């Protein structure tokens, strides 16, 4: 019998994502000036207020208020009527030095012996539903909000949009787990108070159906475009009005959108958030590494769908173990346990091995903090940073290295594909 599966996404203006982006901008600034920085920063945003808290061990001192305001400005909170505005909001810093006891579990005489920054379990997942090896429902949910933000910045076809938004996509699957059609699309977008409520709702609904959705559909290959039909159920701003939003409408915290950040409920999640953490925290780095493994395995033809789990003890460099689940889609004559043993031979999963293989000591994290950490396009960009003394530094960095298909040939060789 056919079944339904749903994933959601949130925009860069969602209060939790505002918090994530501030935390990750601080990570980038610390790493740009001191690549050995140890950082764990949580951000809280609410009406007219930003609170920064956490632990740092670094050689550099930063103007954290200035960095936080620049992030808020870039997102689009630039008007006083939003009740949260880049230049006028308060920014309180309660950042202090990292615990020496945690530090002694991570640092070693050589970087190669570096221990894991925490205990925990991390998961990576990939399937072949999309060209980027991501679950389709989440991919569509992300695309809808990315285009909605583009329309807001263009301020042309749609002029009333504000930064906060959420999306949700429900797909119908066949018994053999193939997507058949889009059943439901939910869009909740913050907007100006520009007309009577019923008139606003009608206008926003029509613009979502006639402007936003066609722009997203045009990005997709024909077989995915075929999933769109006249029978899609739309729920646009289901409460009827969404003028009060952002941190004024709902307090935001770093790390509350871990399913949006990963696989939209497909596969599994170890529970650890990403944003605000330097790569010595395996919650982040090992989640990227397992995604890299899963994506390359699916791309190499080992299976159509793969989940990879890894676990660590704080201060210990070698993982406790690697687990693999191919959900019965394996294309090789090996058990899932045998596949995991080969993964351990191909990939160095020590914290130092992950950091160096994926270039995680670079300032690459601000771009991850909205629209998902996984399924993004690897690219090289130049980024400029300013110190608290006014000195500037421009670095060239490669983003989303864990999305590269650079181990496909090694995997094919190892699995005789």
pLDDT in tens, the chain (417 residues): 899 999 999 999 999 999 999 999 999 999 999 999 999 999 999 999 999 999 999 999 999 999 999 999 999 999 999 999 999 999 999 999 876 655 555 665 677 778 887 889 999 999 999 999 999 999 999 999 999 999 999 999 999 999 999 999 999 999 999 999 999 999 999 999 999 999 999 999 999 999 999 999 999 999 999 999 999 999 999 999 999 999 999 999 999 999 999 999 999 999 999 999 999 999 999 999 999 999 999 999 999 999 999 999 998 999 999 999 999 999 999 999 999 999 999 999 999 999 999 999 999 999 999 999 999 999 999 999 999 888 999 999 999 999 999 999 999 999 999
Rounded to whole angstroms, the Cα distance separating 363 from 28 reads 4
Tokens in use for 347?
């990939």
Element spanning 384, H or E: strand 379-386
Confidence (pTM): 0.96
CA distances to 8, 90, 227, 364 from 63, in Å: 34, 14, 48, 19
Residue 325: enclosing H or E segment and its boundaries? strand 321-325
Residues placed in the known binding site for Mg(2+): 16
**246 three-state secondary structure:** helix
120-128+279-414, what's its fold? Answer: GMP Synthetase; Chain A, domain 3 (3.30.300)
Feature table: binding site for ATP: 14, 164-166, 241-242, 250, 256-257, 273, 277
Contact 291, 374 (CB under 8 A): yes
**What is the reported pLDDT for 388?**
87
Domain boundaries in the chain? 3-8+137-245, 120-128+279-414
**Same fold: 3-8+137-245 with 120-128+279-414:** yes
19 Cβ contact partners less than 8 Å away, ≥ 6 residues apart: 42, 43, 44, 45, 252, 253, 254, 256, 275
Binding site, residues?
Answer: 14, 16, 42, 55, 98, 164-166, 241-242, 250, 256-257, 273, 277, 281
Binding site for L-methionine: which residues? 55, 98, 250, 281
Measured CA angle at 131 (ends 403, 186), to 5 deg: 100
Q: Domain spanning 3-8+137-245 has what CATH number?
A: 3.30.300.10
Binding residues for K(+): 42
- pLDDT, residue 97, reads 85
């Amino acid at each position: 019998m056919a079944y339904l599966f749903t994933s959601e996404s949130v925009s860069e203006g969602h209060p939790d994502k505002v918090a994530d982006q501030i935390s990750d901008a601080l990570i980038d600034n610390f790493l740009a000036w001191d690549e050995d920085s140890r950082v764990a920063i949580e951000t809280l945003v609410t009406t007219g207020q930003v609170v920064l808290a956490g632990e740092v061990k670094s050689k550099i001192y930063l103007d954290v208020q200035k960095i936080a305001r620049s992030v808020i400005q870039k997102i689009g909170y630039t008007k006083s009527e939003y009740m949260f505005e880049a230049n006028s909001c308060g920014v309180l810093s309660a950042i202090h030095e990292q615990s020496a006891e945690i530090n002694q579990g991570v640092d070693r005489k050589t970087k190669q012996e570096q221990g894991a920054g925490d205990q925990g379990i991390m998961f990576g997942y990939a399937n072949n539903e999309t060209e980027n090896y991501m679950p389709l429902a989440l991919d569509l949910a992300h695309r809808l909000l990315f285009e909605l933000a583009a329309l807001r910045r263009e301020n042309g076809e749609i002029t009333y949009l504000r930064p906060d938004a959420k999306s949700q996509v429900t797909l119908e699957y066949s018994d053999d787990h193939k997507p058949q059609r889009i059943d439901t699309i939910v869009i909740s977008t913050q907007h100006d108070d520009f007309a009577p409520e019923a008139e606003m709702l009608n206008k926003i609904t029509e613009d979502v159906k006639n402007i936003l959705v066609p722009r997203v559909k045009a990005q997709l290959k024909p077989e995915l475009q075929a999933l769109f039909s006249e029978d899609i159920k739309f729920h646009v701003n289901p409460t009827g009005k969404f003028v009060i939003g952002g941190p004024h409408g709902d307090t935001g915290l770093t790390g509350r959108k871990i399913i949006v950040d990963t696989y939209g409920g497909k596969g599994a999640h170890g529970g650890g958030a990403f944003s605000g953490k330097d790569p010595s925290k395996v919650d982040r780095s090992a989640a990227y590494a397992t995604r890299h493994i899963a994506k390359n395995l699916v791309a190499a033809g080992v299976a159509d769908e793969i989940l990879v789990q890894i676990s660590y003890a704080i201060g210990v460099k070698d993982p406790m173990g690697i687990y693999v689940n191919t959900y019965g889609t394996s294309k090789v004559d090996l058990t899932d346990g045998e596949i995991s043993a080969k993964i351990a031979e191909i990939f160095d999963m020590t914290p130092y091995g992950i950091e160096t293989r994926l270039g995680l000591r670079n300032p690459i994290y601000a771009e991850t903090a909205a629209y998902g950490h996984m399924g993004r396009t690897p690219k090289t960009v130049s980024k400029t940073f300013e110190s608290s003394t006014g000195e500037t530094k421009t670095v060239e960095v490669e983003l989303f290295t864990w999305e590269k298909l650079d181990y496909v040939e090694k995997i094919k060789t190892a699995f005789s594909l």
